Amino acid sequence: MNNSDVGKKETAGWAMEMKAICREEPERLMQTLTSAILGRGGWVLVRGADDTGVVNMFFEFERQACVDIYILLTSSGVELGQSGHAQFAQLCQCTHSLQRECGTEIASIDLEIQTYPIAKTADPRTLDCV
């Protein structure tokens, strides 16, 4: 079993795979998301970035925190695809309807984010005059 499979086989129920894009530096994005997920009571099991700017994160959280997790992803600049938004909507609606029965159950997300760092513009004070 490789590192990206750690924990996946043990997670039942709401195990979701999502793809997204973000205009942020990969390392900064990983730090921001990790801190926010941990701050909401979640667990980051695997995280990493490759040379092409793809960030992979596998994390878990109690279902009762699903709205907070959704908000933290979108507010950090992560742009989920249509499928990701639909999965979160379904999770949040189901959890809200069955809060007593399933609020403490664990949900997991295997998230792949393609980052597109914002190009730094040249400082006009450093440009050479011709």
For residue range 11-29, list pLDDT tens digits in order. Answer: 446 899 999 999 999 999 9
pTM: 0.78
Give the pLDDT mean for 89-116: 90
Residues ≥6 apart with Cβ < 8 Å to 95? 63, 64, 66, 102, 103
Residue 48's pLDDT is: 96
Residue 123's pLDDT is: 52
Please state, as a whole number, how many other Cβ atoms lie within 10 Å of the Cβ of residue 6. 12
For residue range 40-88, list pLDDT tens digits in order. Answer: 999 999 999 999 999 999 999 999 999 999 999 999 999 999 999 999 9
pLDDT band at 6 (very low <50, low <70, confident <90, very high): very low
